[in-house]
Amino acid sequence: MTDNSIPKKICRLCGEVKPLTDFSKNKRTSDGRTNRCKSCDVEVQQVSAQHAIHMPEKYLNDSLERDIYGARILLTILGYDVNGDVHAQFMERMRKRKG
């Protein structure tokens, strides 16, 4: 059985195709929904809050080794290219931060 009648869209963050109802409403987008799904929204809010305080280097390194879902989201938010050498990008940023 297919459910092609249900409007769907792809989440820009996790890349999963989900029903439109899984996306929060947003007047600024053409389809009236945000570009990331509700579960990603929650993750974004959580990691944003963490990052606002301080992102522990250990957390990042541990996450990268396990390549966990949350880490990819976190890194995407922070502007990393998750398909590239993230650790090298991270080290470069730390160098700049410390001057």
Task: Return the range that interacts with Zn ion (CB under 5 A); candidates 4-12, 55-63, 68-76, 82-90.
Answer: 4-12
In 8-88, beta strands by DSSP E? 8-10, 17-19, 23-25, 33-37
CA distance 32 to 56: 36
What DSSP state is assigned to residue 35?
E
Nearest CB to Zn ion, comparing residues 68 and 91: 68
Task: Return the range that interacts with Zn ion (CB under 5 A); candidates 13-21, 58-66, 73-81, 91-99.
Answer: 13-21
Nearest CB to Zn ion, comparing residues 13 and 71: 13
73 binds Zn ion (CB under 5 A): no
Q: CA-CA distances (angstroms) from residue 31 to 10, 36, 85?
A: 12, 13, 34
**Least distance in angstroms from the C-beta of 92 to Zn ion:** 28
- Please name the residues in contact with 40: beta carbons below 8 A apart, sequence gap of 6 or more: 11, 13, 14, 73
14 binds Zn ion (CB under 5 A): yes
x/- mask, Zn ion, residues 30-69, rule CB under 5 A, reads: -------x--x-----------------------------
| Structure tokens that stand for 7 in this block | 């409007």
